[in-house]
Structure 1
Amino acid sequence: MNKPEILAPAGNLEKLKAAINFGADAVYLGGSKLNLRAFADNFTTAELKEGIEFAHSRKKRVYVTLNVFPHNEDLEGLEDYLKELYDLKVDAIIVSDPGIIMTAREVVPNLELHLSTQANNVNWKSSIFWYRQGVKRIVLARELSLEEIKEMRKRIPEDCEIEAFVHGSMCMSYSGRCLLSNYMTGRDSNRGQCAQPCRYKYYLVEEKRPGEYFPINEDDKGTYIMNSKDLCMIEHIPELINSGINSFKIEGRMKSAYYVASVVKAYREAVDKYFEDPSKYEFNNKWMDYLMKPSHRIYYTGFYFGERNKEYHKSSAYIRNFDIIGIVMDYSMETKRAVIEQRNKAFQGDTVEVLKPKGDNIIIELQDLKDKNDKPIESTPVAQMIYSIRTDVVLEKGNMLIKGKNQDI
């Protein structure tokens, strides 16, 4: 039994470093062209170079998405871009279009190919077809059950890898193939510009009563008739591992660094715990606690258990109980002071939780706040300001400070 890879989203360089520091084996990200998150920060060539060097120095991997369905004009410069990625030593590219796959095989034949979930691969024969085109890994469509995945694992070549989403947002269309955004906003979801109209709040208008809007009541948080719940498989790690999945993928390139760090930590600890001794593995509720604090929708287990979840689209808005307020930049053992970069406003006396890559989270109180000029302050109102606190708790660079919205940690 091989230990599955924890694959994390990296919407920018800060998120890449957070993912790796908190335990990801690999990250996936968008470069300057042909990826399905046109409104993420994405990576310049210089940032991509820095990110790859950061990852490789820690023996981690970087996959770059080229998973759009390109129109003719999108193919301009494709060959040069592929060569650039190969020269930068990316570990693989994630692709969905046969034209891009064919070009990659011609231009950079040694660059590893992963088939995007956008290609909607739902059966073992299709997997073999793509494998014969040079694809090393199949990123499965999200509409598959664990039983179907097991069957696929039995029938495809042993060296053909399987990757599957285990956590994050779900799309109301078939593995991302959607035209709703095109129709309503003119933004093509299959070219990286999805406006997510499935998340909008809708009302019903009767034909003979124009201007009268009737709510479609679902719950007290609103009406979101196409808004799917979020996938969460943290309570089913043994089932995922035993299905033969090689890579556990976390969705969320548009999410915060706090989301990335907290989710990666939960799945890292759970997978590691299972491999310590599978026969004694027990689920730890703290892993779910890590996942409940970052912004998320109601959780469910997607299509993994067949008909168990019939409430796929009956959910509402995000649940946001905690915010990240700062990232530790430095700590002095001599002065017992930690230098913090602000992410959200904090106040003198706030009780906050410290999210660390390893070990349980700890609670501290923000005491003796000072600005970068060493002057006492009562709060941190300026975005990304540098300030310091005094604490006997030894903090490490990259630790995240998070605060409950109701201060009830």
Structure 2
Amino acid sequence: MHETTREIIPGIKRAQAREIELLAPARNADFGMAAIEHGADAVYIGGPSFGARADAGNALPDIERLARHAHRFNARVLIALNTILRDDELETARRLVWQCWEAGADALIVQDMGLLELDLPPIQLHASTQCDIRTPEKARFLESVGFSRLVLARELSLAQIHAIATQTTAELEFFIHGALCVSYSGQCYLSYAHTGRSANRGDCSQACRLPYTLTDTSGTTLRSGKHLLSLKDNDQRANLRPLIEAGIRSFKIEGRLKDLAYVKNITACYRQQLDAIIDAGEGWRRASSGRCAFFFTPQPEKTFNRGATDYFVNKRHADIGAFDSPKFTGEPIGHITRLGQAYFEVQSSVSLHNGDGLSFPTPDGELGELTGLRINLAEPIEGAPGHYRLTPGGRLPASLRVGAPVHRNLDYEFERLLEKKSAERRLSLNLSFAETPEGFALRLTDERGICAEARLTHAKETAQHPERATTAVREALGRLGNTIYTAAAIDIDWETHTKPRFIPAAALNTLRRQGIEALDTARQAAYTRPPHHAARTPPLPYPADTLSYLGNVYNAKARAFYEKHGVRLIEPAYECRQEKGEVSLMVTKHCVRYSLQLCPRQVKGLRPDPLILLNGKERLILCFDCGPCEMHVIGRLRKNRALRLSPQTAAVK
């Protein structure tokens, strides 16, 4: 007979110094848990409503389930509540924040300053990228009113990021991968002006991805049918170390509407990239616990993207646009060599498989209207390495031509890998086994120093085979396969005056199980949510004393907030429909003139005269402000366009 007892030893608080966080998107709780399994230190997810993605709401029980899983790895759950709110929605939003807090959420991502005027729980506040944070003055102000983290504008350079970092002690977050909004976030009203769907309310119609004809003011066509406001996707893999040196501490992946394969693939890729920097021994550490083992090789080019750009992090580039197509063209693999009745042949630089998806350009050689198909049967051609006969599921598209380039935008074998269990995350433990006067004890210490102990009351019997006995103890204690732990070291300490003891396997299994339960309890008790930072007294004044419609003031509480901080003249948000004439519907760092080699800085003698974008009946004027090197997309509010409520917003009214 034997008896075990458990002892919980207080853990340590989560350290803050020199931590690097990988922040991944979560469409839902299951996606969030997968992101954590693939190395995310934190995930951001929408709550039941007001999450800036009309189709990405999540129920409170799912938030709670995700938080429980995340906290096991010291990972965090950030709630995106970053839409602008009407007056009649503020109380619903306030209750929702409390409910998310009670469900275990760690922080709240906010755009609407009216929320700061409400009775909120002590949840940490993060200023959304929709707050348009581009200057040290704006950053200092937001820190002074209670924001612990600032999500910087995507358009910033390393020098601008560093300038902000030197002027604030708030954590700085930056988008490192995924789709790019062409407008400064929070400064886009094109969707609302044309469709009544507000981007600041989470319901963007993505007018920036449409094809446009570009003319000068005299009507001369400069480009036709191009997606001139559509950008390539953000890809900062080459800039992670410089971004760290500039002051970024949270590295954010875009994609709350992306599929699970994207979340797994991109999260795993950046986990490996950041781990390489951390493991170089420069004093950085992961913001959460555990190491990941991946059962696939991350390849970002295989999941949805529009091409890659590092945007303005280093300098302005002319080739940041996805002008030919806003779709996923895929990786170039070869060209068509022959067309048959129901098949075609290609010469490919990669192995092709049944189920692959291919895309082809239009007959004129452009990619604006892609032709795509799935391959039912991919047959290597004997005696011709790299050549395949491909049979699609239906008729061959009429647009296929011999010599046309071929892209693969669906690698079926890669997708199948990601449909399975594709990663495993475990925490390292040191286990120490020793004799006690009453029997034996097992002490477990995790990688952050949190400890627990289990004791076994058992008669002491000298083992007949000492070496075998020690091996049996080590093997029994190391069987952690059905837990989130792995044994980094197992130390066995027999009393110096005795030989190894014989202990039945069942007793050792019980001791190990009780020790793991005690450690789970200790780690749960040791987890602390990040602290809420109170507003400075007195807070800094807002950097300007006037706010135009670009300030997105949509409710009385937001107006009161800015008045309290020294703003004298406050115009209502664009969604209040008081801007009747032509105004800036977008403010962008992207410049069509520069991208098309029509910039006065590129071609001597050119002038930055306005240009016109046409799409059907829609007409937009492009004006160029060469001082800050910005472009304004000018248009007017169309008649009879009312703000469309998202399903989540309508449900909580």
Whether 1:183 and 2:193 are equivalent positions in the alignment is yes
Q: Where do residues 246-395 of structure 1 align in structure 2 (5 Å cutoff)? A: 246-277=249-280, 290-307=299-316, 309-315=317-323, 316-321=325-330, 352-353=413-414, 354-355=417-418, 356-357=422-423
CA shift digits 1:143-176 (9 cap, x unpaired): 211111112212212xx11001111111111124
If the length of structure 2 is used for normalisation, what is the TM-score? 0.45
Q: Where do residues 8-23 of structure 1 align in structure 2 (5 Å cutoff)? A: 8-23=24-39
1:70/1:351 Cα in 2 relative to 1: closer, same or farther (>3 Å)?
Answer: closer
Which residue in the other structure is 1:328 paired with?
Answer: none
Which residue in the other structure is 2:115 paired with?
Answer: 100
SS of the residue corresponding to residue 172 of structure 2 reads: strand
* Percent of residue pairs identical: 32
1:278/1:150 Cα in 2 relative to 1: closer, same or farther (>3 Å)?
Answer: farther
SS of the residue corresponding to residue 127 of structure 1 reads: helix
CA distance in 1, matches of 2:244, 2:376: 41
Say whether the 8 Å CA contact 1:116–1:138 is kept in structure 2. Answer: yes
Which residue in the other structure is 2:229 paired with?
Answer: 226
Equivalent position amino acid for 1:2 in 2? R
CA shift digits 1:262-312 (9 cap, x unpaired): 111111001101122268xxxxxxx996110001011100121132x1333
1:85/1:223 Cα in 2 relative to 1: closer, same or farther (>3 Å)?
Answer: same
More displaced 10-residue stretch of structure 1: 181-190 or 346-355: 346-355
CA distance in 2, matches of 1:298, 1:319: 8
Q: How much is the aligned-residue C-alpha RMSD, in angstroms?
A: 3.1
CA distance in 2, matches of 1:56, 1:165: 23
CA shift digits 1:333-373 (9 cap, x unpaired): xxxxxxxxxxx9999999723343379xxxxxxxxxxxxxx
Shift in Å at residue 57 of structure 1?
A: 2.2
Which residue in the other structure is 2:18 paired with?
Answer: 2
Aligned equivalent of 1:135, options 135, 144, 147: 147
Shift in Å at residue 202 of structure 1?
A: 2.7
CA shift digits 1:170-213 (9 cap, x unpaired): 1111124211101121111111110111111234699999xxxx
Q: How many residues align?
A: 319
CA distance in 1, matches of 2:200, 2:266: 27
Q: Where do residues 37-48 of structure 1 align in structure 2 (5 Å cutoff)? A: 37-40=53-56, 42-48=57-63
CA distance in 2, matches of 1:17, 1:297: 26
Say whether the 8 Å CA contact 1:142–1:164 is kept in structure 2. Answer: yes
Whether 1:55 and 2:70 are equivalent positions in the alignment is yes
Whether 1:199 and 2:209 are equivalent positions in the alignment is yes
Whether 1:147 and 2:159 are equivalent positions in the alignment is yes
Shift in Å at residue 73 of structure 1?
A: 2.7
CA distance in 1, matches of 2:215, 2:139: 45
SS of the residue corresponding to residue 299 of structure 2 reads: helix
Say whether the 8 Å CA contact 2:192–2:198 is kept in structure 1. Answer: yes
1:73/1:215 Cα in 2 relative to 1: closer, same or farther (>3 Å)?
Answer: farther
1:278/1:148 Cα in 2 relative to 1: closer, same or farther (>3 Å)?
Answer: farther
Which residue in the other structure is 1:25 paired with?
Answer: 41
Which residue in the other structure is 1:400 paired with?
Answer: none
Equivalent position amino acid for 1:140 in 2? L
Shift in Å at residue 18 of structure 1?
A: 1.6
Say whether the 8 Å CA contact 1:7–1:247 is kept in structure 2. Answer: yes
1:73/1:295 Cα in 2 relative to 1: closer, same or farther (>3 Å)?
Answer: same
CA shift digits 1:28-78 (9 cap, x unpaired): 0111121110122x2111211111112112321000011111122332412
1:73/1:20 Cα in 2 relative to 1: closer, same or farther (>3 Å)?
Answer: same
1:205/1:117 Cα in 2 relative to 1: closer, same or farther (>3 Å)?
Answer: closer
CA distance in 1, matches of 2:329, 2:218: 39
CA shift digits 1:77-113 (9 cap, x unpaired): 122112111111210000011111222xx331x2100
Shift in Å at residue 3 of structure 1?
A: 3.8
Equivalent position amino acid for 2:54 in 1? A
Give 5+ residue unaligned stretches, structure 1: 280-286, 326-343, 360-395, 397-409
Equivalent position amino acid for 2:159 in 1? E
SS of the residue corresponding to residue 231 of structure 1 reads: strand
More displaced 10-residue stretch of structure 1: 140-149 or 74-83: 74-83
Which residue in the other structure is 1:91 paired with?
Answer: 106
Equivalent position amino acid for 1:260 in 2? V
CA distance in 2, matches of 1:155, 1:206: 43
More displaced 10-residue stretch of structure 1: 256-265 or 43-52: 43-52
1:4/1:181 Cα in 2 relative to 1: closer, same or farther (>3 Å)?
Answer: same
1:225/1:137 Cα in 2 relative to 1: closer, same or farther (>3 Å)?
Answer: same
If the length of structure 1 is used for normalisation, what is the TM-score? 0.71
Shift in Å at residue 17 of structure 1?
A: 1.7
Say whether the 8 Å CA contact 2:150–2:172 is kept in structure 1. Answer: yes
1:185/1:288 Cα in 2 relative to 1: closer, same or farther (>3 Å)?
Answer: farther
More displaced 10-residue stretch of structure 1: 112-121 or 174-183: 174-183
Aligned equivalent of 2:241, options 230, 238, 247: 238
1:77/1:357 Cα in 2 relative to 1: closer, same or farther (>3 Å)?
Answer: same
1:345/1:49 Cα in 2 relative to 1: closer, same or farther (>3 Å)?
Answer: farther
Say whether the 8 Å CA contact 1:162–1:246 is kept in structure 2. Answer: yes
CA shift digits 1:225-273 (9 cap, x unpaired): 1101111001222112211211000101011111111111111001101
Say whether the 8 Å CA contact 1:234–1:288 is kept in structure 2. Answer: no
When Rg is computed on C-alpha atoms for both structures, the one with the higher figure is 2
Say whether the 8 Å CA contact 1:143–1:175 is kept in structure 2. Answer: no
Aligned equivalent of 1:70, options 64, 72, 85: 85
Say whether the 8 Å CA contact 1:3–1:275 is kept in structure 2. Answer: no
Bigger fraction of residues in strand? 2
Aligned equivalent of 1:35, options 35, 42, 51: 51
SS of the residue corresponding to residue 413 of structure 2 reads: strand
CA distance in 2, matches of 1:135, 1:238: 25
